[in-house]
């Protein structure tokens, strides 16, 4: 069975059970763990072995084979969090504001993703997506979305009628839909593993179980080193072990704001975690959905709304909702971190967001607790779905960047800082969906910026 977010879904006794998958193959783990030895030096260290961090490290190592690169990952496995807890959709670039980085990188990244999967033999399905107007009043928004997609140069877009909807999705109902045939699905954790293999084949080192807790400027050369202050940045982990490097690239996802603070850079934008809970169709009901079925997004609300997503293993996910998570890596309803909760509750930007979207947020909480409320939304598109056809499934946590005025940071944000450390670091502060789709395009942009800033 194909991997699903680090877990495999099996049905036993009519219930979905999510089993832990084995860790990443041994070849993806570091040959040695460097703990402050004289050889633990890198020209560039990348913090975070998610799909963006691994893609960036891969791109840099391929461009500069004479330099040394290391990836620092706090988990014992790669692509363990956002990169391994997502819908697996290869987005085409319809939704994003024309001219934004999201739009540019998604369209470019989707093409690169398909090309890379073909080269590596990574399975994917170009199953397409329908964005469906369930009611007549949604049609103007759907047409505006179509125009936006055309401006973004998304391939193959067309508006289709209700009869054409049923030709593509026989059980789906709607008055009009936007057909995006270039949308696909893939297992992004498998893609991330392939990036790691490329990186290590190019001479890169991946250090797992290395949680960054401190950064400082070396006051003197490492003992026995003849390089003087060539590697002035000291990065220490939670065990007191350390590496030395010339420059840093932070791709820390859910912890991007904290890594920025550790480095002496700005804490803004802050990261507020939102958990998305999925439902799954029972296997005997998966015939109801062939590809991806999405609602027309409502601009009054910050998230897309629940949708139907086909998976590489043949399952169908329904969702996700979007509720505030009380732990940055809390995938269960009752997961709680005191520090994460206090950080979120004390941030004025979150309260401004909550007050502006109070009714929407309460609705999301209600639907998270009562499956019948989610089923009611799903039935707008596929009336045959009943509460007896669904099971609770996995969840993911989205690293949502938020400014002090309570505005969701919708686009990618990259910045650095000043001072001894800040001038030597590039932060990927916000890489929301479609970051996985865009990962190879993001990596090219990050590598360009690293070369420009650090004169590699």
Residue-wise pLDDT tens digits, 334-361: 999 999 999 999 999 999 988 988 887 8
User: Taking residues 231-245, what's their average pLDDT?
Assistant: 93
For the ranges 7-11, 60-64, 114-118, which has the lowest average pLDDT? 7-11
**250 bridge partner residues:** 47, 427
Burial, 46: exposed, middle or buried (Cβ in 10 Å; 0-12, 13-18, 19+)? buried
Instruction: Select from 292, 332, 329 the least CA-distant residue to 437.
Output: 292
Both tokens assigned to 109: 């990244």
What's the predicted TM-score (pTM) here?
A: 0.89
Which domains are assigned to the chain? Answer: 7-83+189-269+412-454 (3.50.50.60), 274-404 (3.30.9)
Indicate whether 367 pLDDT > 90. no
Q: Closest by alpha carbon to 274, among 357, 360, 397? A: 397
Rounded distance between C-alpha atoms, residue 131 and residue 307, angstroms = 9
Q: What is the phi-psi region of residue 2: left when phi exceeds 0, alpha when psi lies from -120 to 50, beta otherwise?
A: beta
Q: Is the dihedral of CA 384, 386, 388, 391 positive or negative?
A: positive
pLDDT digits (tens, 9 = 90+) for 177-196: 999 999 999 999 999 999 99
Beta pairing, strands 390-402 & 212-217: unpaired
């Amino acid at each position: 069975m194909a991997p699903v977010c680090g877990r495999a879904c099996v049905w036993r006794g009519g219930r979905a059970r999510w089993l832990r998958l084995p860790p990443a193959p041994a070849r993806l783990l570091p040959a040695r763990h460097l703990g402050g030895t004289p050889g633990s030096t890198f020209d560039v260290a990348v913090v975070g072995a998610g799909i963006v961090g691994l893609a960036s490290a891969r791109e840099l190592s391929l461009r500069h084979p004479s330099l040394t690169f290391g990836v620092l990952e706090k988990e014992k496995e790669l692509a363990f969090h956002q990169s391994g807890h997502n819908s697996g959709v290869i987005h085409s670039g319809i939704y994003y504001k024309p001219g934004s980085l999201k739009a540019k990188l998604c369209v470019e990244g989707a093409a690169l993703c398909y090309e890379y999967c073909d080269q590596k033999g990574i399975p994917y399905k170009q199953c397409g997506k329908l964005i469906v107007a369930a009611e007549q009043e949604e049609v103007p928004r759907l047409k505006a979305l179509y125009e936006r997609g055309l401006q973004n140069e998304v391939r193959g877009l067309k508006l289709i009628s209700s009869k054409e909807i049923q030709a593509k999705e026989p059980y789906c109902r709607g008055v009009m839909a936007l057909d995006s045939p270039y949308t696909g699905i893939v297992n992004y954790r498998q893609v991330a593993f392939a990036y790691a293999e490329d990186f290590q084949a190019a001479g890169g080192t991946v250090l797992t179980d290395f949680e960054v807790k401190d950064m400082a400027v070396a006051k003197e050369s490492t003992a026995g080193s003849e390089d003087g202050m060539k590697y002035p940045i000291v990065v220490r982990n939670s065990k007191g072990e350390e590496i030395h490097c010339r420059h840093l690239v932070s791709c820390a996802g859910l912890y991007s704001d904290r890594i920025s603070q550790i480095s002496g850079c700005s804490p803004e934008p802050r990261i507020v975690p939102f958990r998305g809970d999925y439902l799954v169709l029972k296997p005997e009901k998966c015939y109801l959905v062939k590809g991806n079925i999405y609602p027309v997004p409502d601009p009054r609300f910050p998230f897309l709304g629940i949708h139907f997503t086909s998976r590489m293993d043949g399952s169908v996910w329904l969702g996700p909702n979007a509720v505030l998570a009380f732990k940055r890596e809390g995938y269960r309803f009752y997961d709680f971190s005191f520090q994460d909760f206090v950080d979120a509750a004390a941030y004025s930007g979150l309260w401004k967001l909550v007050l502006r979207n109070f009714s929407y947020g309460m609705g999301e909480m209600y639907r998270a607790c009562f499956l019948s409320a989610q089923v009611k939304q799903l039935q707008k598109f596929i009336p045959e779905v009943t509460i007896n056809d669904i099971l609770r499934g996995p969840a993911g946590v989205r690293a949502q960047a938020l400014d002090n005025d309570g505005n969701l940071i919708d686009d990618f944000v990259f910045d650095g800082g000043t001072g001894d450390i800040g001038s030597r670091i590039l932060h990927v502060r916000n890489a929301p969906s479609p970051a996985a789709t865009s990962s190879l395009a993001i990596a090219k942009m990050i590598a360009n910026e690293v070369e420009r800033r650090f004169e590699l």
